[in-house]
Structure 1
C-alpha cells in the first residue's frame, strides 16, 4: 500500500536566520502556509525595520491561523547576537510541537573584488568566518540542545548551501571556503546523530541582491560575464521557484541525512 505524503510541516517551531530579505524572507512567507495552527516562527536578522515589515506581511498572510511570530534582531557575526537568538529559543522550550525546523540561511558573499592571495589580514578573514561558519555551528548546537531527541519530535536542520561548496569560483575564496566548511559541518552532524534530518540545499542562481553584487563586483571577468548573461537572458531563479523545490524535499522526507542537494538535481 502506498504511503501518503505529508501535506504540511506539522505543529512546529521554525527558525529562519537571514530572514529579512532575499531567500530567507521568501522562505518565511512560503513556509508560513505549511505550518499548523499554534506553530511558532522565529525570524532572525540584523535589520529590525525589515523584520517589522515582514511580520506585517505575515500577519496578513496567516490571519486567523494562530501562528506565533517572533522577530529577533541579532548580528550573528557576534557572540552576543548568537546568544540573543538562543535566549529567545530557550523561552520556547515548553511549547508543544511535533516538528523542529532550523534553517541556517544567514550568509554574506564577502569581498569578491579580490583574489585569494590578497587576504593577508586575519581579522578580516576571521570576521567573515565568524558570521558565515561559526555562528551556524554554535546556533545549531544551541537549538538542538534546547530541543533534544524525544519521542514524537521530528528535528530538521537545513543548511542553505551553494554550488560554491563543491566548485571553486575564482575571486570567491571567502564564500567558497565558508560554504564548503558548512557543508562538511552538517555532514558530520548527520553522522553523529542519526535521529536528525540534515540537509544542505543549494538553491541555484537567485535573482537577489547577492547576485547583483556578484555580477558587478567579482574580480574574475569570466564570472562577471556568466552572471550578466544569466541576468540579461532571464535565467536567474526567483526565490519562490527554488523554495518550492526545497519544501517538496522536506515534505517528502526521502533524502539521505547530510546530503547536498542542488536545485538542478531535482
Structure 2
C-alpha cells in the first residue's frame, strides 16, 4: 500500500462473521495487516478463521446501533495498533418483501444497521482521520444502491441512503486528506440469499404474486451467482491500496456493470422526457 509507510496498515471492518466481510478479514490477515473486525458472534468469526494467523486480529462483538460501543471499538483499535488507516462499512443484510409488507420495525431495523450504524462509525472515526490528515472510508453498497427491483424496496432504500450519505461525505472530507469510496457489487456466491441471512415478511400478501415468484427465484439462486466474493474482497483491498479515491463508485461484477449502465440510460431518458414540463416551473426572468 502507498500508506502507511514502515508499518502494517490497520483496518476497521464491520460485518465480518461471514461472506464478503469474512473473506476480506482473511485476506488482510494473510497480508500481514492489522484488523479490528466487528461481528455479532466473535465465536463464529474465530471458527471461520481456523488456520489463519490471527495475531494481528482484534475481534469484537459490537452492536453498531450503540454509538458509545462503536466509539469504544475504534478507540481500542487506536490503542492497540496506533492508528486506523481504512474503515470498511460492510455490515448489512437483504430483505425481500413488497413495500406494503414491510413493517415499521422491519424498516427501522434495516436503517439501524445500514445507515445509523454506518453513521456511528463515521462520527467516531472522522476526527481520527482528520487529525492524521489521512484515512480511507470504503462503504459497501450494492448495485441495488443504483437501481431497484420489485420486492427489494427496503434494501434499496437503505442502500440508496448510503449512496447519498457517501457522496456528500466524499466532498466534505477531501480537503482533510480523507479518501472515500463506494463499492457496488452485483450477485456474489455468499450466504446473502440464504434464509439465515435474509429477511422475509411475517405476513406476506396474496396481492403480490410477482414478488413471491421473485423471492422463490432468489432463494434458489445460491451457488449460481456470477460474482466471486474472494475476488471482490481483493478488489476492495486494491481500492484502498491504490491511494486514489476515483472512481467514487466502484462497480464489482459484470452483472452489476450491465445493470448500472441500464439504469443510467433509463434515467437519462426520463430526464429528457421531463424537460418540457420542467422548464415551465421557472419564475420568468429569474435567471
Do these two structures clear the TM 0.5 threshold for a shared fold by scoring above it? yes
1:54-86 deviation digits (Å, cap 9, x = unpaired) = 454432xx6xxxx5311111232x32xx42232
Aligned residue for 1:201, secondary structure, equals strand
SS in 2 for 1:107: coil
Report the TM-score, using the length of structure 1 for normalisation. Answer: 0.78
TM-score, normalised relative to structure 2: 0.73
Between the aligned partners of 1:105 and 1:261, the Cα distance in structure 2 is: 14
**Is this contact kept in 1: 2:186–2:227, CA < 8 A?**
yes
RMSD of aligned Cα (Å): 3.1
Mapping 1:60-209, distance limit 5 Å: 67-76=55-64, 78-79=65-66, 82-94=67-79, 100-110=85-95, 112=96, 114-119=97-102, 121-150=103-132, 154-194=134-174, 195-209=177-191
Separation in 2, partners of 1:216, 1:101: 29
**Alignment coverage as a number of residue pairs:** 242
Please tell me whether Structure 1 or Structure 2 has the larger radius of gyration of its CA atoms: 2
SS of 1:131's equivalent?
Answer: helix
- Paired position in structure 1 for 2:231: 241
CA pair 147-193 structure 1, distance change in 2 beyond 3 A? closer
Unaligned runs of 5+ in 1: none
Select the structure that is richer in helix. Answer: 2
Unaligned runs of 5+ in 2: 201-209, 258-287
